[in-house]
Amino acid sequence: MEATVMPATAPVQKQQGLNQVVINKVRRMIEGRQGDVMDTINRLLSEGRIAQDFIAPIGVSQRSKERPVISFKAEGRVQMAMPEGNFNLHGNAISQISEKMGIPAKYLRELSAGDAWQKQLCATILNEHSGWTERTRVLIRAVGMEVRGVLSDSYRRLNSVDILTAFIREAGGQGAVVSDAYMSDTKVWCETILPTPIEIPTRKNGTVIIFAGARFSTSDYGNGSVDMRSFLLNGACLNGMVRESVMRQVHLGGRLPDSLSLSQKTYELDTQTTVSAVSDLTKGLYSKDTIMQKAIEIQGASEIDVDFDKELKNLVQKGALLKNEGREVEKLLMNNNPDDGVTGGATLWKLTQGITAFAREQQPERCRELHEISGQLMNRVKVN
């Protein structure tokens, strides 16, 4: 029997038109964010040039000395006094010191950001605890004259510039483009996506148009491990989402020698090993199998009915969302606006899109945390 060639139907033409609208929207978003991408890379390079590492003794070993190698004082900001000079303490470093000395971190950070007497009290507490803690050595990481991290003396030092470059290069080799990047004082993120959309028909939430990709993140200051995740961008609304980590490489290795110059070879070898792992994992995240699995997960999430009120209360209770964030997500879900990626039935997929729609308007760091919270909900979908 001779096959009949059917003319393109109106729904197909309509979908093609929608796809082109989405492609143009995503292209404009990428172009608009290239400044942020360049700022991130330039900041990583410039801070790398003024970064310093010190191995410093603390704790009971210093108590017998008239003048400890490290002490703390408050002059405008809480400072760490070392032979190399007086270094301001970043909030991240204060949290890490408090953890190592058994002091409540929230309390110490509040003191360090308070009035002059509170800063002075913070310095006094640190000096007193420093003389009694059992720990004997720490790795101190500074940028210029600010201490950003107080870390274990077994912390594996890695060259983040080389690792990020390897990620971008491998993603580019897979046909992907850098869609966004951001660097805070203590962490760097970079997202890459394939510029071609994938249409995913779902039973209860319409056709979802996704741009598949990969996210890389790392911290040189103990604020997270080297991490790689699948990244999904909903083209209709530019909601982002990341899935479970495929690499959580914790920065821990052998004990660092007193002379850090002796560990330069280890630093280079550890970086090369991580560069190789990141390249392999990036390739894997862009494989057809991985992308197909993510599409099936989205379809699966659209099959799971949920009670939004109960789900949001649970997320607030667990501390994943703040109370006011839960309320804002609920409003977005009730508005049912396709421009927010929130449409169709009350499903797990719609819930994830409500959270990521809310994330779009948040600070870059919180936005990415919400991408992870949203992605964790997808773990309920069982894919064979």
- Kindly write down the DSSP assignment for every residue of 98-154, as one continuous string: HHHHT--HHHHHHHHTS-HHHHHHHHHHHHHHHTT-S--EEEEEEETTEEEEEE-TT
* Lowest-pLDDT range of 5-14, 57-66, 238-247: 5-14
**Length reported for the chain:** 384
User: In this model, does residue 64 exceed pLDDT 60?
Assistant: no
**pLDDT of 384 higher than 80:** no
| Whole-number pLDDT of residue 3 | 42
Nearest-angstrom CA–CA distance, 171 and 173 = 5
Please tell me the predicted confidence (pLDDT) of residue 249: 64
The token pair at 59 is: 């704790």
> What distances in angstroms separate CA 247 from CA 169, 212, 224, 225, 275, one per listed residue?
18, 18, 12, 9, 12
| Closest C-alpha to 11, from 235, 207, 202, 200 | 207
pLDDT digit string, tens, across residues 304-354: 999 999 999 999 999 999 999 999 999 999 999 998 999 999 999 999 999
Is the whole model's pTM more than 0.75, yes or no?
yes
- pLDDT of residue 9 exceeding 70: no
Residue 12: which pLDDT band, with cuts at 50, 70 and 90? low
Query: pLDDT tens for residues 265-318?
Result: 888 999 999 999 999 999 999 999 999 999 999 999 999 999 999 999 999 999
Which own/partner pairs from 44-52 qualify as long-range (CB within 8 Å, at least 24 positions apart)? 44/160, 44/161, 44/164, 44/183, 44/188, 45/161, 47/143, 48/159, 48/160, 48/161, 50/143, 50/144, 51/141, 51/142, 51/143, 51/220, 52/84, 52/141, 52/142, 52/143
- Both tokens of 375, joined, read 């992605």
At residue 262, the pLDDT reads 62
Give residue 175's pLDDT. 97
CB 330 within 8 A of CB 309: yes
Is the pLDDT reported for residue 1 higher than 90? Answer: no
Average pLDDT over residues 364-383: 94
Can you say how many angstroms the Cα of residue 80 is from the centroid of all Cα atoms in its chain?
28
DSSP letter for 1, please: -
End-to-end CA distance of the chain: 38
Query: How remote is the C-alpha of 147 from its chain's centroid?
Result: 21
State how beta strands 85-89 and 51-57 pair. Answer: unpaired
What the block records as the tokens of 99 is 């953890």
Contact 271, 158 (CB under 8 A): yes
Q: What CA–CA distance (Å, rounded) separates 15 from 12?
A: 5
- Taking the C-alpha atoms of residue 158 and residue 254, their distance in angstroms, rounded to an integer, is 13
Residue 376 scores a pLDDT above 90:
yes
Q: What is the mean pLDDT of the chain?
A: 89
Residue type, 281: L
Amino acid at 141: R
Look at residues 203, 201, 204, 242 and name the one whose alpha carbon lies nearest to residue 374.
242
pLDDT tens digits, 144-202 = 999 999 998 888 889 999 999 999 999 999 999 999 999 999 999 999 999 999 999 99
With 0-12 CB in 10 A as exposed, 13-18 as middle and 19+ as buried, what is 80?
A: buried
pLDDT above 90 coverage of the chain, percent: 73
Give 304's contacts (C-beta < 8 A, 6+ positions apart): 347, 348, 349, 380, 381
For residue 7, is pLDDT > 60?
A: no
Q: What is the pLDDT of residue 2?
A: 43
> What would the two tokens of residue 9 be?
């139907």
Q: What local confidence, expressed as pLDDT, does residue 266 receive?
A: 84
Strand 146-151 to 85-89 pairing: parallel
Each residue's pLDDT tens digit, 79-125: 999 888 999 999 999 999 999 888 999 999 999 999 999 999 999 99
What pLDDT is recorded for position 78? 95
